[in-house]
């Protein structure tokens, strides 16, 4: 036979209360997964948005770099204006041309060309032309001696057609030159060298982007510079941002690096994001707490209802068994001619029948008085003729509705506590009268009574017990029966009703039950 082993959880789990178990499962299967998901979603969202922004910045950088390359191409292709201008070629070759012809040719064919180039391209600061054929000092724009700031002329000599050589020196005031060569008409030899002075700040400014947190660094010859709105400066700090992209700038002999802290949520934003989330968790937990309490209360109420129903079903059997047993005992006593014992059992059976067989919590004044009569007669059989009682109840009040077990605890209290051992004739009187507010039922005895301190203590107990909603049953000289009846009267009729006590030492005690209309 296959043995099935029941699941045994940790011992501490079974010691938890129902609410604690509910909180445990809520935290384990809801709050913890939701918190982990929130953290994961936060970082994933940050990563996704950062990637989107990184791609967006890369597109911007790529567009800017394309524009930059276009401007470089414009600068390098400007040599075509010289190469395709035959007047310029003839002028540079220095053919047999008089001075007057040279001046006229310069002013008509060359000066407009140079001025057009400078005016049409804002990146050009100046243009220098060096003729390799003539040692005479040409007119404006021509140089006879090779400038010392220029690169060595022998480096330029190998330049071919439409080839450019760039020179950038930050340590020399940011000089930026583009070297180009002009060939003769059949491209067999070099006629002149054209040196274009380019505005480096404007050209690099095309790559600068005014974006918060963006940093552009340029590394040249082992030194790092930062590219800003105003130009280039030495950079000596530390970059902790994200690397977006890098671009090679052969014209500058440098590499540009783009950095930006493109995290969508910064560290300062974390509290602003997480605090509302945790507040939402707190609100959700509060709602779930209320739900748990309602579920727990409903569950416990269901258990109590089920237990009450079970005990009620079981209690239906108990009175039947007890009453039958008492009746059997009474019959045995009669068979043995023990009338006294038979009478005691009969009275006890009547009292128990009233107590156990009446399922309704509401009774009538006549039934209450009858129950008290049976109880007092039972007490007389026990105590003898030292105890007597009187009952006065008008017929019109016999059907007056009242809570069950309203009088018996008061009468029992008088029998048990009103008299001492040396008391003589013991007398208990029960009377019911109708008044403007309802019905007043009095239970009086001729016992030893109470002194003022005892009387005030009992009255205070009645008052305090009601103000505390009956949450405690204080022990008094008269037990808890009086307090119980007092509270049930107020619940049944209203707060203005209840028990009043009047007593004096040696003169007995009167309990007055003030009852209203039910």
Q: Give tens-digit pLDDT for 186-213.
A: 888 898 899 999 998 888 888 888 777 7
Gap between the Cα atoms of 280 and 415, Å rounded? 65
Q: For residue 4, is pLDDT > 50?
A: no
Q: Give tens-digit pLDDT for 42-59.
A: 777 777 777 787 788 888
Topology of domain 385-518 in CATH is Heat Shock Protein 90 (3.30.565)
Domain 78-198 has CATH 3.30.450: yes
Beta strands (DSSP E) in 111-265 are 124-131, 142-143, 164-169, 175-183, 190-198, 214-220, 223-228, 231-234, 242-249, 254-260
Residue 512: per-residue pLDDT: 94
pLDDT above 70 as % of the chain = 80
Q: What is the domain partition of the chain in residue ranges?
A: 78-198, 205-260, 385-518
* pLDDT band for position 417 (cuts 50, 70, 90): confident
Cβ distance 257 to 11 under 8 Å? no
Q: Residue 250: is it exposed, middle or buried by C-beta count within 10 angstroms (0-12/13-18/19+)?
A: exposed
- Give backbone dihedrals phi and psi of 293, rounded to 5 degrees, phi first: -65, -40
Say which residues have a Cβ less than 8 Å from residue 293's Cβ, sequence separation at least 6.
19
Say which residues have a Cβ less than 8 Å from residue 109's Cβ, sequence separation at least 6.
85, 87, 88, 91
Return the structure tokens found at 122: 């804002």
Helix, coil or strand: residue 321: helix
Say which residues have a Cβ less than 8 Å from residue 279's Cβ, sequence separation at least 6.
none
pTM beyond 0.75? no
Gap between the Cα atoms of 224 and 236, Å rounded? 8
* pLDDT band for position 5 (cuts 50, 70, 90): very low
Return the structure tokens found at 61: 């950088």
Gap between the Cα atoms of 513 and 441, Å rounded? 5
Return the structure tokens found at 40: 């994961």
Listed residue (189, 152, 176) closest to 71, CA to CA: 176
Q: For residue 69, is pLDDT > 70?
A: yes
Q: What is the 8-class DSSP label of residue 107?
A: I
**Average pLDDT over all residues of the chain:** 79
Q: What is the mean pLDDT of residues 509-517?
A: 91
Q: Give tens-digit pLDDT for 459-500.
A: 888 888 755 554 444 444 555 788 888 988 888 888 899 999
Residue 139: per-residue pLDDT: 64
User: What angle do helix axes 339-356 and 365-383 make, rounded to 10 degrees?
Assistant: 150
Gap between the Cα atoms of 385 and 425, Å rounded? 8
- Give backbone dihedrals phi and psi of 198, rounded to 5 degrees, phi first: -105, 140
Listed residue (87, 249, 79) closest to 159, CA to CA: 79
Helix, coil or strand: residue 274: helix
Distances (CA, A) of 371 to 4, 117, 299, 355, 367: 59, 128, 39, 9, 6
Q: How many CB atoms lie within 10 A of CB 189?
A: 10
Query: Given this chain, do its domains 78-198 and 385-518 carry the same CATH topology?
Result: no
Gap between the Cα atoms of 182 and 186, Å rounded? 11
């Amino acid at each position: 036979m296959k043995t099935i082993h029941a699941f045994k959880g940790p011992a501490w789990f079974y010691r938890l209360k129902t609410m604690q178990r509910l909180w445990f499962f809520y935290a384990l299967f809801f709050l913890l997964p939701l918190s982990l998901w929130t953290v994961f979603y936060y970082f994933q969202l940050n990563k996704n948005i950062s990637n989107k922004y990184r791609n967006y910045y890369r597109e911007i950088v790529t567009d800017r770099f394309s524009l930059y390359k276009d401007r470089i191409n414009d600068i390098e292709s400007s040599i075509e204006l010289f190469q395709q201008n035959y007047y310029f070629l003839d002028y540079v070759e220095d053919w047999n041309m008089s001075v007057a012809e040279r001046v006229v040719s310069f002013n008509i064919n060359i000066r407009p060309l140079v001025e057009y180039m400078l005016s049409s391209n804002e990146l050009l600061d100046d243009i220098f032309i060096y003729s390799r054929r003539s040692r005479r000092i040409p007119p404006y724009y021509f140089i006879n001696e090779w400038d010392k700031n220029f690169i060595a002329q022998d480096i330029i000599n190998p330049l071919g057609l439409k080839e450019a050589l760039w020179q950038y020196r930050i340590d020399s005031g940011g000089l930026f030159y583009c070297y180009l060569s002009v060939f003769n008409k059949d491209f067999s030899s070099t006629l002149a060298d054209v040196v274009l002075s380019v505005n480096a700040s404007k050209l690099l400014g095309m790559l600068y982007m005014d974006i918060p947190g963006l940093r552009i660094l340029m590394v040249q010859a082992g030194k790092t510079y930062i590219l800003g709105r105003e130009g280039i400066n030495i950079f000596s700090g530390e970059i902790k941002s994200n690397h977006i992209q890098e671009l090679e700038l052969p014209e500058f002999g440098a590499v540009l690096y783009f950095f930006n802290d493109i995290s969508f949520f910064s560290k300062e934003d974390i509290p602003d994001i997480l605090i509302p989330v945790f507040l939402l968790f707190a609100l959700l937990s509060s709602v779930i707490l209320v739900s748990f309490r309602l579920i727990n209360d409903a569950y416990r109420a269901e258990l109590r209802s089920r237990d009450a129903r079970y005990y009620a079903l079981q209690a239906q059997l108990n009175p039947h068994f007890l009453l039958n047993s008492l009746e059997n005992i009474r019959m045995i006593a009669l068979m043995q001619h023990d009338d006294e014992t038979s009478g005691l059992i009969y009275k006890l059976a009547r009292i128990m029948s009233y107590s156990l067989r009446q399922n309704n919590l509401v009774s009538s004044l006549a039934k209450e008085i009858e129950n008290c009569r049976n109880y007092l007669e039972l007490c007389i059989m026990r105590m003898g003729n030292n105890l007597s009682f009187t009952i006065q109840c008008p017929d019109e009040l016999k059907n007056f509705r009242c809570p069950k077990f309203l009088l018996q605890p008061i009468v029992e209290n008088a029998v048990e506590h009103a008299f001492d051992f040396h008391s003589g004739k013991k007398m208990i009187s029960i009377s019911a009268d109708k008044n403007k507010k309802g019905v007043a039922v009095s239970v009086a005895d001729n016992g030893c009574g109470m002194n003022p301190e005892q009387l005030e203590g009992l009255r205070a107990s009645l008052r305090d017990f009601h103000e505390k909603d009956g949450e405690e049953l204080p022990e008094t000289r008269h037990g808890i029966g009086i307090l119980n009846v007092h509270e049930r009267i107020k619940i049944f009729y209203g707060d203005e009703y209840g028990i009043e006590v009047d007593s004096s030492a040696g003169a007995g005690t009167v309990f007055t039950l003030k009852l209203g209309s039910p």
